């Protein structure tokens, strides 16, 4: 592998979020979770110039690690770009013809469509091409969660018992990506951020990624404003499976709107 991490040692970085005892609890967010009949955690780090603070619902859970599911596509995309497994967002990866039950997956993909559609089969192919040694080296180099792969190369980010990360650690990673401070080419970091764009307004931009393991849902990302970014990481249980999926978006958007961090 001739990428930027070939000579980079494992990192041990202190989280950029405020220390947990400085987090401010939001009682109204507890009501928001109750309103949606959801159990989970929400951590928000507001870095806007006039409103710097770290807000949390369920602080203990915000420090607890869970399987990242498809939120791992964000760092994983950096890995494949760095290793040359994917050249750019235009390279087309042929569908193998296997129907996996998600219509959007049943087609050729590029990085942009795979990020938008959370196309699992393509990232499983990337994992095979990267290999266990490279995956582990990348994970350790960026300090992503527990950096554990286990014995299942194609599913270590999808199933509990392997790679796990907390809401706090998710935000730490996103802060470094936002500032182009990860040990990758700046062009690759900018490309991945471009792939994460969900919504834009006149003076703001939402970059985010969902994740779902079947039992746990994530939504992580940040809203960019001229005065600074607002980072968020939500995880929640999904006992009703697909019926619970819309709650991620609804809870985060309501919380951010209350903070005037999202229109």
CA 204 to CA 177: how far, in whole Å?
18
- The strand ranges marked E within 9-134 are 24-25, 40-46, 53-57
Strand partners, 109: 93
Active site residue 12: no
- The strand ranges marked E within the chain are 24-25, 40-46, 53-57, 197-200, 205-212, 216-225, 228-237
CA distances to 15, 67, 147 from 217, in Å: 22, 9, 20
> From the candidates 12, 51, 70, 227, which is the catalytic residue?
70
CA 181 to CA 150: how far, in whole Å?
28
Supply the DSSP symbol for 259: T
Tokens of 218: 């994530």
Supply the DSSP symbol for 153: T
Q: Any idea which residues carry the catalytic annotation? A: 70
């Amino acid at each position: 592998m001739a990428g930027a991490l070939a000579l980079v040692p494992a990192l041990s970085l202190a989280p950029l979020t405020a220390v947990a005892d400085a987090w401010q609890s939001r009682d109204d967010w507890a009501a928001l979770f109750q309103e949606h009949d959801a159990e989970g955690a929400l951590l928000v780090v507001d870095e806007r110039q006039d409103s710097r603070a770290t807000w949390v619902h369920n602080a203990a859970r915000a420090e607890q690690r869970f399987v990242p599911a498809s939120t791992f596509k964000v760092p994983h995309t950096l890995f494949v770009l760095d290793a040359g497994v994917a050249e750019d967002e235009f390279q087309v990866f042929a569908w193998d013809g296997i129907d996996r039950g998600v219509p959007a997956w049943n087609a050729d993909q590029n990085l942009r469509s795979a990020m938008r559609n959370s196309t699992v089969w393509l990232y499983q192919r990337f994992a095979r091409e990267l290999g266990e040694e490279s995956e582990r080296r990348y994970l350790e180099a960026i300090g992503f969660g527990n950096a554990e792969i286990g014995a299942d190369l194609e599913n270590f980010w999808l199933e509990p018992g392997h790679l796990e990360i907390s809401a706090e650690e998710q935000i730490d990673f996103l802060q470094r990506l936002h500032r182009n401070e990860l040990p990758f080419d700046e062009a690759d970091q900018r490309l991945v951020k471009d792939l994460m764009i969900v919504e834009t307004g006149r003076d703001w931009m939402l970059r985010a990624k969902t994740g779902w393991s079947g039992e746990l849902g994530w939504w992580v990302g940040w809203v960019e404003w001229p005065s600074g970014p607002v980072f968020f990481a939500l995880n929640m249980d999904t006992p009703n499976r697909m019926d619970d999926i819309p709650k991620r978006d609804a809870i985060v958007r309501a919380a951010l709107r209350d903070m005037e961090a999202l229109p």
